[in-house]
Amino acid sequence: MLLRYILAISLLIGTNILSCSAEDSVTICDSSRGCFSAEYAETIYKRENNGHWVRTIRTSNGSDPYTFLSELIKRTVSDKDVTQLIQTLQDSRNQLTVNLSDLGITVESVRAHRGKLFEEVKESESDLLKSAPDKYNYLFDFSNIAKVVTESLRCPDDADAASESLPMGNFVSCKISDTNTGASVEASSCGTVGWLLPWRIKSGTNVWYTYSLRVPKAIKAFAEQDGPNANISYGLLDGSKYWQQKFWTDEIVDQLKDQINQAVAIDIVSSWQGYDRAAKEFQLLNAKIIAMGVPNIQEYGFTTGNKYEDKNPQPGTIDTLRIYLKVKKAAVINTVTWNNFLNNRHEPKSNWNDLLAEYQKDLQITQSYHWLADWKSCACHNTIELQIQAGQSIYKPAALTEAGKDAHLHGCSEIHLELKPNDFSWCDVYLCNTENVAIIIPGFDYPALPPIQAKHWLDKINTGADWHNKYILVQSNGKHDVRTIPGPIKW
């Protein structure tokens, strides 16, 4: 009898030890990272011997999200609570598409906000956008707004797991391990809108993206309420305020402004002389109207209104068409970005015929720098973009001017190129054809590629932490030298 009692107690203790296994936990990470600051809250629930899950919170509001202010705050949840959370995440597979009515976006709500949206979108510093014709009013219809929202909530292209390091911007994750139910479920989101849609769910080996609002609501109930995304004042885990207010006053206004800007810009550039001829050489990817600084606005027919100031050249900003083009024929140059200034009568400084002449000249010179073509051929994702400004292909930043002085160059930088691995601007290349050399200005601290990937000498260079004071002087044959610009650069 005594032996049976001891055996029963042993089995009970064994069961309790199993129930509070280290694997039995709910971990919620709530972070928001910017360039200079970060907020972080980590909430961990662990099952204890009595079957209750006890919470521990670690928070940080410093620039380093890995430096924590830790405290133990007693709060318990039950097995039933955890089981319901698991069930909510698993049931989210039933909503794989966005339901706009859940977000309050309906024909009726668009109609109610249409007048105010129209007023706010037409408020612009550019006369071109203020006077946008009525033919663009269809952009304020429900069908277009629904399309904008749906596209902005599109799932990421890849379904890989999130990085172990905390990403920039908003990030919330929830990881659950429960030996009682055998569940291992994860939910994560880097969303930028209310409810942080969409959510990536992983249950066992199955992965899907969901638009179920039950997911963020369930996670918020477990999260630290002062976390950056769970905070009731400004957090996005509760998206009610976002979709009721901010969406209509900020988000969709910005989206509609961009759409009208692009539509007006494309209409303008397609009317310039030589467009049909240029269409054989380039594919028009996009165009937009921007305000760009010029050293003398009088050159474009503008004045300050002060006759004494206008006796001398006056700097200022004017409407500029920024045009993005893709080269149709195979060449060392893949894409072209063209900034074309408009005068006070909205006439362009140059036309498509001018652009074609400039492009053909720059292409011929670029092809003579064989190391550029060699770098491009080393990886299929390497591309080269030509920058052309108002019919001329160069803009001289302070770093380039200082580098030219340090290299004792007299005539420099007739052509401006950007090297783009993975469509990401890596560095600026300025071809100084009169002296048959090039200057490379690094765009940021870009480390050398691993030896197995570095097939070109340019990929083997590590500019280091002080990259902003470095430049690379390259001869036409590819011989190169990494140099430091003496003294501070006057940006």
Residue 237: Cβ-neighbour burial (10 angstroms; 0-12, 13-18, 19+): buried
Closest CA to 195 of 149, 159, 162: 149
Q: Are 218 and 86 in contact (CB under 8 A)?
A: no
What is the per-residue pLDDT for 125?
Answer: 64
Tokens standing for 322? Answer: 């920024």
Residue type, 169: G
Contacts for 229 with CB less than 8 Å, ≥ 6 apart: 30, 31, 32, 170, 172, 196, 223, 235, 236, 237
Q: Are 276 and 322 in contact (CB under 8 A)?
A: no
Tokens standing for 181? Answer: 């139910």
Q: pTM for the whole thing? A: 0.77
What is the rounded distance in angstroms from the CA atom of residue 478 to the CA atom of residue 374?
10
What is the rounded distance in angstroms from the CA atom of residue 210 to the CA atom of residue 111?
28
What is the per-residue pLDDT for 108?
Answer: 97
What is the per-residue pLDDT for 365?
Answer: 92
What is the per-residue pLDDT for 464?
Answer: 60
Instruction: Extract the runs of DSSP E, i.e. beta strands, from 330-411.
Output: 335-341, 382-389
Element of type H or E holding 442? strand 437-442
User: Would you write out the chain's pLDDT as a tens digit for each of its 491 residues?
Assistant: 333 333 332 333 333 333 334 478 999 999 888 766 778 888 889 888 767 788 877 776 654 444 455 555 567 888 899 999 999 999 999 999 999 999 999 999 999 999 899 888 877 767 777 777 778 889 999 999 999 999 999 887 654 444 445 566 788 999 999 887 788 999 999 888 999 999 999 998 999 999 999 999 999 999 988 888 888 777 899 999 999 999 999 889 999 999 999 999 999 999 999 999 999 999 999 999 998 877 777 777 777 677 666 677 778 888 899 999 999 998 999 999 999 998 888 889 899 999 999 999 999 999 999 999 999 998 888 999 999 987 555 567 777 888 888 888 876 667 999 998 877 777 889 998 788 899 988 876 555 566 666 788 888 877 666 667 788 899 888 899 888 887 665 54
Q: Helices marked H in 290-369 — which ranges?
A: 352-367
What is the rounded distance in angstroms from the CA atom of residue 450 to the CA atom of residue 460?
8
Q: Are 16 and 49 in contact (CB under 8 A)?
A: yes
Cα first-last separation, the chain: 88
| 293 beta partners | 317
Radius of gyration of the chain from its Cα atoms, rounded to whole angstroms: 29
Would you list the domain boundaries of the chain?
2-98+156-238, 100-152+241-262, 273-484
Q: Are 137 and 122 in contact (CB under 8 A)?
A: no
Residue type, 295: P
What is the rounded distance in angstroms from the CA atom of residue 457 to the CA atom of residue 453?
11
Residue 488: Cβ-neighbour burial (10 angstroms; 0-12, 13-18, 19+): exposed
Distance of CA 298 to the CA centre of its chain: 37
Q: Are 205 and 164 in contact (CB under 8 A)?
A: no
Distance of CA 431 to the CA centre of its chain: 29
What is the rounded distance in angstroms from the CA atom of residue 464 to the CA atom of residue 241?
44
What is the per-residue pLDDT for 445?
Answer: 53
